[in-house]
């Protein structure tokens, strides 16, 4: 069996996907459990942001050294996070009575948006650089 190494972007993509789904499910469970698991949100957030940063960092590094070929659009992560956060905010307003979105969940959402914006800018700059080289 040939496992990917941590130098390979695929392992970071798998870990990022795993932690994204796990963290989103956790945020939803914590919301409906009225913050009963609030003490676990900060550790989950740190692990998730760390793994997301490593994945995006390796992907962007590979892009700039022309070793990045796969296409895994970050738009899907942004869309998924947006639906979850806005859905929970709306439910919080409707249900009230202790139902609230954790501030760490909102902070992670903002971080996901920031990472996406930075990678989009990096992608455009790289495409411009490649276009100039071809001329």
Any domain includes 2: no
Alpha-carbon distance of 52 to 25, in angstroms, equals 17
If one counts the domains in the chain, the total is 1
pTM summary value: 0.78
pLDDT for position 71: 60
Q: Give the domain extent around 68.
A: 20-134
Find out whether 25 and 88 touch, Cβ atoms under 8 Å. Answer: no
Question: Long-range contact list for 121-129, CB < 8 A, 24+ apart?
Answer: 122/60, 122/63, 122/64, 123/63, 126/63, 126/64
Any domain includes 9: no
Find out whether 21 and 81 touch, Cβ atoms under 8 Å. Answer: no
pLDDT for position 39: 92
Alpha-carbon distance of 126 to 66, in angstroms, equals 10
* Distances 58 to 22, 35, 63, 133 between C-alpha atoms, Å: 22, 34, 9, 23
Question: Could you report the per-residue pLDDT of 46-81, keeping only the tens digit for each?
Answer: 999 999 888 888 877 666 666 555 566 778 889 999
Find out whether 11 and 5 touch, Cβ atoms under 8 Å. Answer: yes
Any domain includes 5: no
Any domain includes 103: yes
Any domain includes 63: yes
**Banded model confidence at residue 2, pLDDT cuts 50, 70, 90:** low
Find out whether 93 and 34 touch, Cβ atoms under 8 Å. Answer: no
DSSP letter for 18, please. H
Any domain includes 11: no
Any domain includes 107: yes
Question: Could you report the per-residue pLDDT of 8-58, keeping only the tens digit for each?
Answer: 667 888 898 999 999 999 999 999 999 899 899 999 999 999 998 888 888
Any domain includes 13: no
């Amino acid at each position: 069996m040939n496992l990917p190494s941590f130098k390979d972007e695929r392992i970071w993509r798998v870990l990022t996907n795993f932690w994204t789904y796990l963290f989103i499910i956790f945020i939803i469970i914590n919301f409906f459990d009225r913050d009963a698991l609030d003490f676990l949100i900060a550790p989950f957030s740190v692990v998730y942001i760390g793994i997301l940063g490593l994945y995006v960092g390796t992907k962007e590094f590979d892009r700039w050294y022309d070793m990045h070929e796969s296409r895994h659009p970050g738009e899907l992560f942004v869309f998924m996070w947006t639906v979850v956060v806005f859905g929970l905010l709306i439910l919080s307003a409707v249900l009230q009575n202790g139902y609230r979105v954790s501030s760490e969940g909102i902070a992670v959402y903002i971080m996901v948006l920031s990472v996406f914006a930075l990678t989009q800018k990096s992608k455009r700059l790289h495409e411009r650089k490649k276009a100039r080289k071809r001329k």
